[in-house]
Each structure stands twice: as structure tokens, then as C-alpha cells.
Amino acid sequence: MKSNVLYWVWLSLKTPPNNLCIRKLIKEVPDAEIIYSMGEKELEQIPYLNKVSFIKLLDKDLEPAKKIVEKCETNGYNIICYAEDNYPKRLENICDFPVVLYHRGMFFDFDNLLCISVVGTREPSGYGISIAKKISRELAYNNALVISGMAFGIDANAHLGAMSIDKPTVAVLGSSIDKPSPKSNKYLYDYMLYNGCVISEYPPESVTNPSNFAIRNRIISGLSLGTLVVEAGNKSGSLITANFALEQGRDVFAVPSSPDNVKGMGTNKLIKEGAILTLDATDILDEYKGMFESINIIKTFSENTYNNSFKKEDFISKFTDLTPVEKEVALSLETYETTADEISKKSKLPVSYVLSALTMLEIKGVVKSVVGNRFILNI
């Protein structure tokens, strides 16, 4: 255990995301053990400390924090505390910074990387899915780090864009580090454990409240220099991420949609209000020319110029009991979410054949079904 991690976890339990007065104290006294040692008289001398926070900081019970630290040590969950050198400076500078971060996988040097968050609706159109994956793949190909929230729809396909060329990607969860949500996207979580990073401000075994997901969006935008909204309606939660980005002084990018696409009304409004219109990754990368040595702006992604370590044919060949129709359907699948109709068009097989084959392929472990009657290779 790091020397004062116990006190930081204790302090984090006293500091929910909306508590700015304790965060002000942390800014002034960036040592959790010293804050823990403050008694009633010392706390009374802090003029901006409200009554609720005062009472919280007088509770010196370390047992809940000990249980969390022990759980993390037992299960290999890492804890990054506010005052540590590897705590991202980008997060230090937001008003409601997370006091601690729990993570699995590789913890990146976020401050020295071009991090771009890619967000959008959970129920995207086919175009939204395609463009989210395409732009994320292009960003990852140019060594930008794609960050999202691992939700259904645009989030999942943003991660898949990076994954499709075996590049790392980062998920910031609205659930605890040990309970990836949604459960059906655990395949993304598992990928990031060995080629990426999963982050949460919520300790293991925390109850997942629906409000957590909007609250965590400030971390998604906070880690990033820019936030791309791919497709969002007027009430999409991804607009919350865009608003956080603006409040944090970060760039906002948006993909335009047809005026009659209700799923894109929010992105069109963002562009109207000044977001940078984005059609491909170059529109984003051009904003950061010369800032990062690892970013090669002149590169344009081409399937033929990247030696993808994932070979679909090699994966499918491992399953020796596939019928010709099942194999054809499997070969028509991609590393991003696809519908039976799209597979039917690509394979030129009747939809009824495709649906039957998909059922068998799921039983055999070749594919996974995800929300919205979509399917993906079970890589």
C-alpha cells in the first residue's frame, strides 16, 4: 500500500462530485493525511467549509476506506490519488476533479498525449456507427488516444474503431471498476485490460446510480484536449460531455447530420454554436499540429497501408465445425456492430438464412449479440 493512499480513499468518500468546498481545501492542502488530522477547531477556521462538509470531515472512521484498499490490492485494481505525480494535470485543473481514480490496464501519461473523447447517442443510425468507427480508427492510427464511456452506440463504436487496428483505447466508467456497465459490453472492457485502460472514480462494489453516467462525463472531457460528438439528439447525454468540455476550456468537434435526422439535431446545434465541423480525423488533428511528436498529421488511414494484427479469417478458421452458410455469415461480420440486414446485403444471403446462422454462430462463440439486434465478432 502506498503510504497515504488510505487517507486519500477516506477523503474521496467524503467528497462527492458536487462538493466543491472540500475540493477547495484539497487545492490548498494537497495532503489527505493532514486533512484527516484536522480537528474540530482547525476545521472551524476554514471559512468556506459548509456544515455538511464539516460533519463529514469530523468522521475519522477509516474502516470503509481500508476495505476498499484491501479489495483493490486483492483484485489488482490500481488507485491513483490526487497529489501523486501520475495523476493527470488535465484533471487537476477542472473544478470538480475526482479525488482518486481506480483503474485497470495501462495508466497513460495523459498530459503528454493527444487524447480525444468520442461520444454520441446510444441509439445511432447506421451512418453514425460508421463515422464513429472511421474517425476513431483514423485518430488511433495517427497515435491519438481515443477516450469514451463504453456505453451502447457511439461510445462502443469509438472504442471499436481503435480496437480494429489493435490500438489502445480508454473507457471512463459510470459504474465501479469491478462492475463494467453495460454488461454486454464487457468484451470492450476485457480488451482494454491488455491494450488500454479502464477508469472509474467509484470504488469496487459501489452501487451504480443512473446519475453517475452524466457525472463521469466531466472526466471523459477532462482527460481530453477535444471532444467529438458524432451523433446526438437535443436531449442526448453526450451534449453534457460537450458542455463540460466547453466549461473546461477544451475544444468541441461535431459531425454534421441531415436536417431531418432527429438523432443529429444536437450535433447540428453544436456546430451552429461554434463547434468545429468534423468530417474526418484530419479536421481534428489539424487543430493540434506541432503539439505532439507522436502525431503525424499527414497520415491518412488506409486499410491497405496498415498491417492489422487482427485477421478475421484467422479468427474464423479456429472454428472447424462451421457450415458453409455460417462461415459466409461470419466472414461478412466486422469488428463493429452490424445488423442482420447489413450482413444479408454483404453476403447476398437471405435474411432468414443469416438470422439462423447468427443463432448458431452465437452458440458456437463466434459472434456476440448486442443491443439493437446487432452482432459483432466475438474477438
Cell of 58: 469530523
Residue 293 lies in a domain: no
Above 70 in pLDDT, residue 306? no
Tell me the C-alpha distance between 217 and 149, whole Å. 8
- pLDDT exceeds 90 at position 223: yes
What confidence score (pLDDT) does residue 296 get? 52
* CA pair distance 156, 335, nearest whole angstrom: 11
State whether 121 and 257 are in the same domain. Answer: yes
In terms of domains, do 36 and 124 share one? no
DSSP state string for 259-287: TT-GGGHHHHHHHHTTPEE-SSHHHHHGG
Helices and strands per DSSP (H, E), number in the chain: 18, 12
pLDDT of 162-205, one tens digit each? 998 889 999 999 999 998 888 888 889 999 998 999 999 999 99
Q: Do residue 134 and residue 172 come from a single domain?
A: yes
User: Per-residue pLDDT averaged across 256-280, rounded?
Assistant: 92
Q: Is residue 272 part of a domain?
A: yes
Average pLDDT over residues 351-379: 83
Q: Cα angle at 85 between 84 and 89, to 5 degrees? A: 100
The total domain count for the chain is 3
pLDDT in tens, 144-155: 999 999 999 999
Q: Which domain holds residue 266?
A: 113-288
Q: Are residues 250 and 202 in the same domain?
A: yes
Is 331 within a domain? yes
**Residue 30 within a domain:** yes
Residues 99 and 137 in one domain: no
In a domain, 301, yes or no: no
* Best CA proximity match to 253, nearest among 222, 233, 230: 230
pLDDT-derived band of residue 338, with 50, 70 and 90 as boundaries? confident
**Distance between CA atoms of 335 and 379, rounded to whole angstroms?**
8
From 75, 105, 135, the end of a domain falls on 105
The last residue of one of the domains, among 70, 105, 140, is 105
Cβ-contact 170, 223 below 8 angstroms = yes
pLDDT digits (tens, 9 = 90+) for 53-81: 999 999 999 999 999 999 999 999 999 99
Average of per-residue pLDDT values in the chain: 89
- Residue 277 shares a structural domain with residue 354: no
Same domain, 132 and 276: yes
Q: How confident is the model at residue 3 (pLDDT cuts 50, 70, 90)?
A: low
The verdict on whether omega for the bond into residue 210 sits within 30 degrees of 0, i.e. cis, is no
Chosen domain end from 51, 70, 105 = 105
- Confidence grade of residue 309 (pLDDT, cut at 50, 70, 90): very low
Asked if residue 362 is part of any domain, the answer here is: yes
CA distance 145 to 113: 7
pLDDT, mean of residues 8-32:
95
The position carrying cell 471498476 is 177
Shared domain check, 247 and 175: yes
Prediction pTM value = 0.79
Strand partners, 116: 146, 226
**Domain containing 259 — which CATH number?**
3.40.50.450
The set of long-range contacts for 322-328, using a CB threshold of 8 Å and a minimum separation of 24, is: 322/361, 322/364, 322/366, 323/357, 323/360, 325/349, 325/353, 325/356, 325/357, 326/357, 326/360, 326/361, 326/364, 326/366, 328/357
Burial 187-222 (b: 16+ CB within 10 A, else e): bbbebbeeebbbbbbbbbebeeeeebbebbbbbbbb
For residues 94 and 213, membership in a common domain is answered with no
What's the pLDDT score for residue 305?
A: 37
Q: Are residues 140 and 245 in the same domain?
A: yes
Please tell me the predicted confidence (pLDDT) of residue 73: 94
Residues 261 and 340 in one domain: no
Give the whole-angstrom CA distance, residue 13 versus residue 379. 37
Q: How far apart, in whole angstroms, are the C-alpha atoms of residue 170 and residue 175?
A: 15
Q: What is the mean pLDDT of residues 89-112?
A: 95
Contact 192, 170 (CB under 8 A): yes
Give the CATH number, domain containing residue 345. Answer: 1.10.10.10
Q: Residue 201 and residue 17: Cα distance in Å, rounded?
A: 9
Q: Are residues 117 and 100 in the same domain?
A: no
* Segment 202-229 mean pLDDT: 94
Residue 295 falls inside a structural domain = no
**Domain assignment present for 298:** no
Whole-angstrom distance, CA of residue 226 vs CA of residue 245: 7
Q: Kindly report the number of other CB atoms within 10 A of residue 237's CB atom.
A: 18
pLDDT at 1: 47
